[in-house]
Amino acid sequence: MSLKPISDIGEFGLIERIAGIAEPTLEAVPGIAEGIGDDCAVYALSPSKVQVATTDLLVEHVHFDLLTTPLQHLGSKAISVNISDICAMNASPRYALVSIALPSKSSVTFVETLYNGMSEAARLYKTALAGGDTSMSLNGTVISVTVTGEAVKEHLTLRKGAQPGDLVCVTGSLGGAAAGLKVLTREKGIMVEHLRHGESYERDILSNLKEYDEAIRQQLLPAARIDIIEFFHKHNIIPTSMIDISDGLAPDLLHICRRSEVGAIIEEGKLPILPQARHIADEFQEDAVNYALSGGEDYQLLFTLKSDQADLIAPHRDITVIGRITPADEGMLLQDIYGMTIDLETIEGFDHFTGKE
């Protein structure tokens, strides 16, 4: 038996190995159109409709810190990050199954507040909280959410499908979630110091940090872009490929490029960086572009579109064209405002196993 640690191959390496083992099971079910490798698994319900399904884990101390995370926000985020994967398929959510593992000392109010957040988000996304499972945990809180959705077959949008000449588009602004996490982590350090010295600390971390509110909101309370999916459906826009940005623009664009077997060129000057992320990056003497490229958790949609559909998205103020798809042999490049290019494939998102960004 190999004793190679997971950190040697990282999260993506591990998923590739899992996929290799799981692949043969897909053949047993004729309706499975997509297995491991996209934002959702896809199952053909009928000749015209598909069902999509996704699941995401939130683990205490890994994905969230209860010192800096209001519980209601955490509940909402657990739902939103899954709905974001449903949106990334150009599909509409239907129902959610929620499993939680809790230390036995957790209070009933803790769980109710968490579920109030989930329920508020579910209502917003017209999704039913329809079941789940509950267990005791010996070490921290774990939340696992699974969401199903549906799409008309012609609307279904995969990571595969981008072609040279297509526009690369992104919704909303980028870098906010990573910038918000920077501020929250700094604030937690201050909080812990105060508590260690027996001093009191105003626990309402959000009202303490008003000047960083937009970035912190992006981190704690991301919104899945179901509004964009509704816009697509209303205007008959079908992207050629799509993914949601959970790991960072660079690694998520790389997923599109790898699965579509294409390259891309992105213009740095066109990246819609959240202005507050720039201020925070200045404060930390960092570059907000890096927050956008590799910080992750912005939960915006990254998609490609036939260039003759540019007019259809032009009126939307929250969609930005940031580049173009190129042939695979041209690689994945970022061009700065002086025309210099850097290789985006070398920029990795955060990997929990390697601890590398």
* Beta-carbon contacts of residue 296 (< 8 Å; ≥ 6 apart): 177, 178, 245, 246, 247, 248, 251, 349, 350
3-state helix, strand and coil shares in percent for the chain, rounded to the nearest 5: 40, 25, 35
Q: How many residues bind ligand ADP (CB under 6 A)?
A: 10
CA atoms within 13 A on the CB side of 299: 25
Report in angstroms how near the CB of residue 85 gets to Mg ion at its nearest.
4
Q: Is 10 in the site for ligand ADP (CB under 6 A)?
A: no
Task: Please choose, out of 14-22, 126-134, 229-237, 276-284, the segment that lies near ligand ADP by the rule CB under 6 A.
Answer: 14-22
Nearest to 149 by CA among 126, 115, 119: 126
Report in angstroms how near the CB of residue 251 gets to ligand ADP at its nearest.
9
- The DSSP annotation for 177-195 comes to HHHHHHHHHHHHHHHHHHH
Task: Please choose, out of 30-38, 149-157, 178-186, 265-273, the segment that lies near ligand ADP by the rule CB under 6 A.
Answer: 30-38
**Interface pattern 65-104 for ligand ADP (x via CB under 6 A):** --------------------x-------------------
Report in angstroms how near the CB of residue 208 gets to Mg ion at its nearest.
32
Contact 164, 327 (CB under 8 A): yes
What's the CA gap between 295 and 175, in Å, rounded? 7
Q: Is 18 in the site for ligand ADP (CB under 6 A)?
A: yes
Q: Is 15 in the site for ligand ADP (CB under 6 A)?
A: yes
Q: Is 187 in the site for ligand ADP (CB under 6 A)?
A: no
Pairing of strands 262-267, 332-335: parallel
Looking at beta carbons only, is 88 or 168 nearer to ligand ADP? 88
Task: Please choose, out of 32-40, 135-143, 177-185, 186-194, the segment that lies near ligand ADP by the rule CB under 6 A.
Answer: 32-40
Amino acid letter for position 108: V
Task: Please choose, out of 15-23, 217-225, 285-293, 312-320, the segment that lies near ligand ADP by the rule CB under 6 A.
Answer: 15-23
At residue 272, the 3 state secondary structure works out as: coil
Q: Is 36 in the site for ligand ADP (CB under 6 A)?
A: yes
Strand ranges, E, within 45-87: 49-59
Report in angstroms how near the CB of residue 18 gets to ligand ADP at its nearest.
5
Residues lying near ligand ADP in the complex (CB under 6 A) = 15, 18, 22, 36-39, 56, 85, 246
